[in-house]
Chain A
Amino acid sequence: MIKRILLLSIFVFSVVAVSAKIKISGKVQDEETGLSLAYCHVKVTSNSYKSYAIADNYGNFILLIPEEINELNIDISCVGYISLTQPLYVYNDTVLTFNLKPDQINISEVRVLSRKAQQRGLNEYYLTPKDASVSATVMGEVDIIKQLQVLPGVSQGMDGTLGMFVRGGNNGNNRIELDGIPIYGNTHLFGLTSVFQADIIQDITFKMGGISAQKGNFLSSVTQVQTKDALKSSGGSISVSPFIIGGHTQFSLADKTFGVLLGGRYSLLNQEFKLIQKSLGGEGTFTPQVADGLLKLSWKIDTTQSVNLLAFATNDYLYYKNESGIAQNWDNTVFKLEWEKFFNPTASLNTMAYYNQFRNVQEQKTYDLSDGLVNGLLLSSKVKDVVFKSELTKQYNELRLSTGLSFQYTEFSPASQKVVVSSNKTEDFSSNLNSILTGAYISINHKLPGDIFYQAGVRTYYYQSGSYSNVFADVRLMADYVIARNFGVEISYDHFSQFFQVLEGLPTGWSLDLMIPASGSCKPSQSDQFYSGFFWILNQFRFNLGGYWKSLTNLISYKNNVNLFGANNATFHDELESGKGKSYGLEFMANKKGNKWSWNFAYTLSKTTRTYPTINGGNSYPFKFDRRHILNFQTNYITVNKGKRKQNVFASIAFSSGHKATLAVGEYLGVTLPYWEQSDGGVFISSEMNHQAYHRQLMSPKNSYTMPNYLRFDLGYTFIRLRRSFEREFTVSAFNVTNHKNPYLYFNESNKWYQLTIFPIMPSFRYSLRF
């Protein structure tokens, strides 16, 4: 249908063009997000003249009007957006940009429809906090990163956490950006919730294929978290959930010349723990401090240029003290300065510089009776990026060209160790490893007649770390073609490179993972991915089916599974092994976005393996989260929609094949360590430790055991009340509402098997006030 309308539009253009002399061209976009709006109706009228056009897939339109008509009205309308009508005076060819405001009543449904119209294959998704608000989380917070786990091609790690494995990659192969800056420690509370406050997020784009050459230094996926623009809208919010309170405000000054976005969250865990301890008693003290904050200042210098300044910080500090003290701390610190310049409506330059630091610290202290420090061990890791990059974009009719340069200096301090060796002396062990990554890229997006779109790009890198240096190139190709009536095909090929390695611990989005630079002994990781699929868009429905094949090389893993909780010593290099991986699968997605009822169904059939020379005897083995079947269904139904009252119920089902495990299936005679039986008894040796001295566990082949299928139902209900100047929202939800026991692991004690379930039913609530 749309294709016919487009053909009709072209026909109309042609007829009008015979006598036209003035060209009105432009673009229609979402006022809040700046994203292009496809298929909008653009109408110009005067007393004696009327013309009509439909914007293309990318929101672009062209109208040709007779030269003698200089005063007219232009009317822009788009489903789900408030129509815009304004007078127009034209004497020459004119280029215009129109920003449409989303319809407040059906904001989530309509927004998604508009964007989904652009989204074709299964490589790319757009999500808003509204989309994430209709799913239950463990912490009760709206978590837009958590929402990515329901998409095809994504395998979740530990239950309820943010561990995410995309098309066979590792968790550390995902690049998660906040306004263009990678955030390395992107989770709070060991992966229970992300560090991105939903209220300050405009939207996120998640890409796992067909990724422009503008993005580099990752292996699996890119998640672009975009904050709100205070120059475009003002408002604020306050929110409360069981563990976290938050608030944000955004406003502009001096006639929308200056914009301020300020947001932050703070965890109440410390106060709640003290309250519980006061009423129930208990030994030891637990001091959790969790917070994040963002400040974004925008300055619109004139109509052609603007400057943004961003500061973002997060902190997790968890201190437990009983007989000894244990502290875990990780934080991010980010500063960014960005300048954007439009030379004309078709050419722009974006330049930014940023400083990005991620640090994690594990500390153990032992005190004497007078609370004096007698023993201590501190293990810390730090990554510091200093980056400068610049991008030039130029639009030539239907072709968009982007080219850019980037320079990145990164300082790694992996597993610096400090030991208290006596009351007044410490022994330090640290190694600083630096790397320089320079990149240059060119990328083109081109729409050809016949509804064919292609994207091609190449990104080259020069990488240096210590004595190791080399040149690399990533090639990215993508094309889609609408064959007939919204039915089309998409194909893509991506070559990715990643120049730092993440030594992964628990699969939760663990923030205590160790990051090290690629080097001669630990070369940059590379991956090649092919994707091909079909898409079919039919009114409110959308169907996708696709398949991918991916190979990964120079992946790094611990040889032995003893560093799950983070590297426990500074000499971790001996523990590393370099290997490769392979993954392939089919992905299917169907969804409906209706006015009352919306649903989303996603299914993945995949297989992922790993091969390392000394692990599993050098034989390939299943990846830990090689889940053969992954199925997610989410639905949202508006039960009440009367004027200022709105209520909706939401539910989701998550089903997947169990992850893989290595089990101790037997025992064999061991060789005891030298003179073990003659120990002086200077330290306590548990009976199990002593047993392990004489016997060895016979482990099953690596990841050969498949855990039981994972099944979870979530349920929630939201009440929304619109007032004149604010909106109240109250959500009650339950994660794992049927309290289904999904075993994460089996362990054996005294020759008896037990299972550990991570999360039983987790009821929660969230109250928010938006103004």
Chain B
Amino acid sequence: MKKGLFYVVLAIAGFCGCVEDAPLIIETTNKVVVNCILQDSDNQALTLVYSKSRGGGLYYEPVQEAAIKLFENDTLVGEFIKAGSRTWEINFRPELGANYRLEIVMPDWKDIQANTTMPPVPKVELVYEEHYIKRFSQIDQQYSQWLFVLNSTFDERWENFFETPQINSSDRLLSNIATNHPSADRFNQYGNLGDVIGTAASLPAYDFYIRLAPIIDSTIFDVEANYCPTCFVVFRNSSPEYDQYFKTSFQKMLIYVDENDPGAWFDESVVYSNIENGVGIFGAYTDKVFVFGNAEIP
């Protein structure tokens, strides 16, 4: 919508042709970049690199020396160990609902720290399903959730009745999904699914992901998509930090959805960061994955 609006503004103001080279030289001081998203698994990963100036290529210089400690409810649970040029790991499974603090000490840098909370498992249950519609019920929800769908091809994972299929790299993230969830955040809503799945679609559609804000009351809602017979519907409970990082990152991406959109010139949006004396994200999430075509993963 903003693109068209901007064209109208351009037409009115007649300022086409007022774009020219700018003699701008910006000196930047690089920052330490910390990315760590805690998951409900036995191993947690963290990347630690330096930022770079614009036009500085795709390479990020890794941090060679650092002491990275993880605290659970103010109790030290361990240190991250370097596992690659920019990757650090710790064997640890977070406790749902606990608070976590990350402390990083690097020579000649201010100490870096960040805090987050490990959210519980989403309280969502499947109520009903048919080809285009999956109906779910949800009881009170304290954390923001992200909802997305992956279609899968029928392969050996789906032939084994004794194991629940896991998402792998052959599965495809659907770019168009729809819902009538009452607390759906409409920032990436664009219209309808009609163009994709025909008249069966009856709900507002979203790009790739749907953000569900916390709710107090129970609700029943539909998720429409062009589902394959084998597919995954994922509900991701997000810590407030990860939720803001997710949303602001996606908002930033959507600004650049059309390379010819001059609205991007006005972009001054900032992706959320909770890293004190650095930049990046320390967050956490817990997934609940509904598997269609086989069994449900608890």
Residues of A within 8 A of B (CB): 138, 160, 189-190, 192, 269, 273, 286, 288, 318, 320, 324, 326, 328, 362, 364, 366, 374-377, 379, 417, 419-423, 425, 427, 429, 506, 512, 560-562, 564-566, 568-571, 574-575, 661-671, 673-676, 678-683, 685-689, 691-693, 696-699, 702, 741, 743, 745-748, 751-760
The answer on a CB contact under 8 Å between A571 and B194 is no
The answer on a CB contact under 8 Å between B213 and A574 is yes
The CA of A379 and the CA of B187, in the complex, are separated in Å by 12
CB closest residue in chain B, given A420:
B192
Interface-located stretch among B93-101, B115-123, B198-206: B198-206
- B162 at the binding interface (Cβ < 8 Å): no
The answer on a CB contact under 8 Å between B213 and A326 is no
The answer on a CB contact under 8 Å between B271 and A758 is no
Of A138, A562, A688, A756, the contact of B18 (CB 8 Å cutoff): A756
CB closest residue in chain A, given B86:
A669
Q: A residues within 8 A CB of B253?
A: 673, 689, 692-693
The CA of A420 and the CA of B255, in the complex, are separated in Å by 23
The CA of A375 and the CA of B17, in the complex, are separated in Å by 32
The answer on a CB contact under 8 Å between B192 and A686 is no
Closest Cβ of chain B to A621, distance in Å, is 11
The answer on a CB contact under 8 Å between B186 and A561 is no
The answer on a CB contact under 8 Å between B266 and A564 is yes
Q: B residues within 8 A CB of A160?
A: 13
The answer on a CB contact under 8 Å between B202 and A421 is yes
CB closest residue in chain A, given B2:
A565
Given the known A-B contacts A326-B7, A743-B22, are A421 and B194 also in contact in the complex, defined by CB atoms under 8 Å? yes
The answer on a CB contact under 8 Å between A669 and B12 is no
The answer on a CB contact under 8 Å between B28 and A665 is yes
Of B20, B150, B203, B209, the contact of A678 (CB 8 Å cutoff): B150
The answer on a CB contact under 8 Å between B194 and A753 is no
Given the known A-B contacts A662-B270, A757-B20, are A669 and B172 also in contact in the complex, defined by CB atoms under 8 Å? no
The CA of A578 and the CA of B109, in the complex, are separated in Å by 33
Q: B residues within 8 A CB of A324?
A: 4
Q: A residues within 8 A CB of B7?
A: 320, 326
The answer on a CB contact under 8 Å between B4 and A326 is yes
The answer on a CB contact under 8 Å between A192 and B194 is no
- B133 at the binding interface (Cβ < 8 Å): no
Q: B residues within 8 A CB of A674?
A: 146, 148, 173, 209, 234, 236
- B252 at the binding interface (Cβ < 8 Å): yes
The answer on a CB contact under 8 Å between A568 and B175 is no
Closest Cβ of chain A to B192, distance in Å, is 4
The CA of A686 and the CA of B8, in the complex, are separated in Å by 23
Which residues B20-56 have CB closer than 8 A to chain A? 20-22, 24, 26, 28, 30-31, 33, 35, 37, 47, 49, 51-56
Q: A residues within 8 A CB of B12?
A: 189-190, 192, 269, 288, 318
Q: A residues within 8 A CB of B35?
A: 669-671
The answer on a CB contact under 8 Å between A419 and B192 is yes
The answer on a CB contact under 8 Å between A326 and B52 is no
Closest Cβ of chain B to A286, distance in Å, is 6
The answer on a CB contact under 8 Å between B280 and A680 is no
The answer on a CB contact under 8 Å between B199 and A326 is no
Q: B residues within 8 A CB of A423?
A: 194, 199
Known: A417-B186, A667-B54, A668-B279. 17 other contacts (CB 8 A): A160-B13, A318-B8, A362-B1, A366-B191, A377-B189, A421-B192, A422-B201, A568-B187, A569-B189, A570-B186, A664-B267, A665-B26, A668-B31, A679-B173, A682-B175, A698-B51, A759-B18
The answer on a CB contact under 8 Å between B195 and A666 is no
The CA of A482 and the CA of B83, in the complex, are separated in Å by 79
Please name the 5 residue pairs, one residue from A and one from B, whose CB atoms are nearest each other, closest first.
A326-B4, A682-B175, A751-B55, A569-B186, A668-B51
Closest Cβ of chain B to A362, distance in Å, is 6
